[in-house]
């Protein structure tokens, strides 16, 4: 991994752990094992490096989600695979956590990949729900946009509840609850 990549990866981890303000250039350089001038050789400053890191995190989230969304099975099977996939629950969502960072939210350019990714996630989930509805797997009255919003809210809210309780149980309950509600709309009898 070259120096620029090490800087981006280190920034990704630090943003997830500490947020934007807590991610100092010095901490990035130490984590990346890079020399003092290397950050400014590859990036104009902390903001540009943070933007590259946020974009990379967003891309990674999309790619990982698409593995389940584009996989085999019914719409409910694919949504369940996504909702129940392995996650570091107590660390929270690396994209969703950025919504709680006032410095990221105050900067339109830093906020854009966060908003775009969460909007993409709702849209992609709505597509999968619509596929299931259109194939007769879900009740014809199912509203894909509302279901997608509820699924994303359950995930993000589940992270918050888990972190507050210092336990993964509230997250798993939120996921199980929203999946139960979705399964109740199923016409195939799977859960």
| CATH, range 57-183 | 1.10.357.10
For 3, how many CA atoms within 13 A lie in the half-sphere containing its CB?
13
Confidence of residue 188 (pLDDT cuts 50, 70, 90): low
Q: How confident is the model at residue 130, as a pLDDT?
A: 98
What pLDDT digit, counting tens, does each position of 117-175 carry?
A: 999 999 999 999 999 999 999 999 999 999 999 999 999 999 999 999 999 999 999 99
For 45, how many CA atoms within 13 A lie in the half-sphere containing its CB?
2
| Percent of the chain whose pLDDT exceeds 70 | 97
Tokens 């999946």, residue located: 179
Q: Mutual orientation of helices 25-32 and 3-18 as an angle, nearest 10°?
A: 120
User: Does residue 190 contact residue 74 with C-beta atoms inside 8 Å?
Assistant: yes
Q: What gap in Å lies between CA 19 and CA 24, rounded to an integer? A: 10
Q: What is the DSSP string of 56-90?
A: HHHHHHHHHHHHHHTSSS-HHHHHHHHHTS---GG
Tokens 């888990």, residue located: 162
Q: pTM of the full predicted structure?
A: 0.90
User: Does residue 79 contact residue 129 with C-beta atoms inside 8 Å?
Assistant: yes
Short-list 57, 64, 59, 58, CA closest to 8: 57
Between the alpha carbon of residue 186 and those of residues 122, 138, 139, the distances in Å are: 20, 4, 6
């Amino acid at each position: 991994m070259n120096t620029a990549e090490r800087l981006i990866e280190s920034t990704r981890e630090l943003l997830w752990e500490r947020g934007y303000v807590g991610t100092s250039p010095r901490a990035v350089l130490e984590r990346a094992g890079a020399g003092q001038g290397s950050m400014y050789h590859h990036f104009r400053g902390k903001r540009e490096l943070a933007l590259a890191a946020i974009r990379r995190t967003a891309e990674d989230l999309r790619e990982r989600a698409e593995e389940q969304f584009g996989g085999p099975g019914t719409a409910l099977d694919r949504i369940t695979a996504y909702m129940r996939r392995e996650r570091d629950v107590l660390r929270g969502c690396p994209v969703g956590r950025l919504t709680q960072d006032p410095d990221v939210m105050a900067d339109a350019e830093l906020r854009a990949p966060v908003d775009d990714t969460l909007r993409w996630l709702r849209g992609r989930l709505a597509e999968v729900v619509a596929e299931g509805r259109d194939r007769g797997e879900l009740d014809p009255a199912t509203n894909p946009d509302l279901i997608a919003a509820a699924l994303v809210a359950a995930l993000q809210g589940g992270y918050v509840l888990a972190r507050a309780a210092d336990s993964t149980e509230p997250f798993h309950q939120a996921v199980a609850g929203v999946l139960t509600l979705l399964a109740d709309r199923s016409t195939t009898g799977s859960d």
